Amino acid sequence: MIKRPDFIILGSTGRNTGKTEFACRLIQQYSKQHKIIGVKVTSIDRDEGFCPRGPESCGVCASLTKEYDIIEETDSNTGKDTSRMLDAGAQKVYWLKVDKNYLELGIKALFEILPKEALIVSESNSLRTVLDPGLFIVIKNINDHTIKESCASVIHFASKIIEFDNKKWNFSPERIQIKNNSWIIKEKATAIILAGGKSSRMGGEDKSLLPIDGEPLILKILNQLDDYFDEIIIGANDVDKYKFLNRRVIPDIEKEKGPLMGIMSCLKASNNEVNFITACDIPLMNLKLIQNMINLSVNVDIVMPVKDENKYEPLFAVYKKSVIQEAEIILKNNGRRIIELLNNVKVKFVDFNDDFWYQNLNRKEDYLKFVQQIELKKCQRTDLE
């Protein structure tokens, strides 16, 4: 799989989804500040002997006599998809017609002519089978419950599935943004960093302020989340300690009631229904996992990772405000365990078996080991240079 964070791929479950209009909106937003290239990919199954668009053939499939063909759009007034992208402000627009068996070969040939440091807005489902982009957005028409085969095979890769009602989408193109020459999503959600623990296993040192690469651990976490959320709040009773973060600090409504009280207090203060909650001792944020949990939260109250079937991660999970009432009942009855919430709310569990990125700096030895790993990686990069 070719990794290209400079690509955003727009796919669709069928026709009439507003996909090209969505692409044009993105191009219009960013073409004045960035070098934007439009790409349309048509993958052709010549072995099947029929047009994927149905019986009303446009002649595209029959016109392909080699493995692939790359055509540059030069006319912005024809009304074709590629023409509309050019009219929207794309510096250049290319149409890749390709035999599906040579898709990787065709896209690599396209790479050769793409300008350096460009950002690519591409329309395709099949492209996702060979390319891992910054974002893969799938748009579906809510009035059409079918899904074409090219989309069905890749929809599980979707960064976001957007609905279209023939007039508008339920997700604004403005929420797709650019960071470090990569496409990202700014979620309509709040990130909550809980920093109310006593750090008892850290020998009394406040783990949230332990230095990581020259900055406090809690700031390292905040910086990783900052571009992806509308709001970030800190859950802590010592408000003055975290003033340097320039974020709202939310103390517990009642002290000495444990992390469940911290969660409930922050949920009440949040400006969004959907909230990602993390402890302040997890230095690396897996943003793909976080966004996947947010996507899965549509019809549930909590999305929580589970490792090895019974190891829950309640402090790296998505909570909705809908759990507040149940949390209040548990706390009123002198309960404290977050896990009690799971008994009376709708929960979706996701597999959590990736030890490569996840680390919890609960103890001093965990912290020292993590710092050593960072230093080792720095040395390895220097050796490579």
pLDDT category of residue 385 using cuts at 50, 70 and 90 = very low
pLDDT category of residue 382 using cuts at 50, 70 and 90 = very low
**Is the pLDDT at 89 greater than 50, yes or no?**
yes
Question: Reduced to 3 states, what is the DSSP secondary structure of residue 369?
Answer: helix
Q: What percent of the chain lies above the pLDDT cut of 70?
A: 90
For residue 98, what are the contacts with CB-CB under 8 A and spacing of at least 6?
41, 42, 43, 44, 64, 67, 68, 69, 105, 106, 107
pLDDT digits (tens, 9 = 90+) for 257-285: 999 999 999 999 999 999 999 999 999 99
Lowest mean pLDDT among 40-44, 58-62, 154-158, 380-384: 380-384
**Is the pLDDT at 48 greater than 60, yes or no?**
no
pLDDT digits (tens, 9 = 90+) for 200-217: 566 678 899 999 988 999
CB of 103 closer than 8 Å to CB of 45? no
Q: At what angle do helices 259-269 and 324-332 cross, to 10 degrees?
A: 140
* DSSP label at residue 382: H
pLDDT category of residue 184 using cuts at 50, 70 and 90 = very high
Read off the pLDDT of each residue in 69-76 and give the average, rounded to a whole number: 95
Read off the pLDDT of each residue in 164-183 and give the average, rounded to a whole number: 95
pLDDT score recorded for residue 57: 53
**Is the pLDDT at 380 greater than 50, yes or no?**
yes
pLDDT category of residue 384 using cuts at 50, 70 and 90 = very low
CB of 1 closer than 8 Å to CB of 9? no
**pTM beyond 0.75, yes or no:** yes
Q: Which residues pair with 303 in a beta bridge?
A: 318, 348
Query: From residue 336, how far is each of 255, 261, 263, 300, 304 by CA, in Å?
Result: 12, 8, 11, 22, 18
pLDDT category of residue 32 using cuts at 50, 70 and 90 = very high
Tell me the helix, strand and coil percentages in the chain, rounded to 5. 35, 30, 35
pLDDT score recorded for residue 367: 87
Read off the pLDDT of each residue in 250-254 and give the average, rounded to a whole number: 95
> From start to end of the chain, where are the E strands?
2-12, 36-44, 68-72, 92-99, 119-123, 131-141, 160-164, 176-179, 182-185, 187-194, 211-212, 215-216, 229-235, 249-250, 274-279, 302-307, 311-312, 316-320, 347-351
pLDDT score recorded for residue 220: 95
pLDDT score recorded for residue 379: 64
pLDDT score recorded for residue 127: 97
Number of Cβ atoms within 10 Å of the Cβ of 58: 11
Burial class (CB in 10 A: 0-12, 13-18, 19+), 24: buried
Read off the pLDDT of each residue in 320-345 and give the average, rounded to a whole number: 94
Read off the pLDDT of each residue in 90-109 and give the average, rounded to a whole number: 96
* Average pLDDT of the chain to the nearest whole number: 90
pLDDT score recorded for residue 371: 86
Question: Reduced to 3 states, what is the DSSP secondary structure of residue 322?
Answer: helix
pLDDT category of residue 25 using cuts at 50, 70 and 90 = very high
Question: Reduced to 3 states, what is the DSSP secondary structure of residue 215?
Answer: strand
Query: From residue 239, how far is each of 195, 234, 247, 248, 350 by CA, in Å?
Result: 10, 9, 10, 9, 33
For residues 81 and 27, what is the distance between their CA atoms, to the nearest angstrom? 13
Q: Following DSSP, what letter does each residue of 41-106 receive, concatenated?
A: EEEE-TTTTS-TT-SS--SHHHH--SSEEEEE---SSS-SHHHHHHHTT-SEEEEEEEEGGGHHHH
- Domains along the sequence of the chain with CATH: 2-185 (no CATH), 187-371 (3.90.550.10)
pLDDT category of residue 61 using cuts at 50, 70 and 90 = low
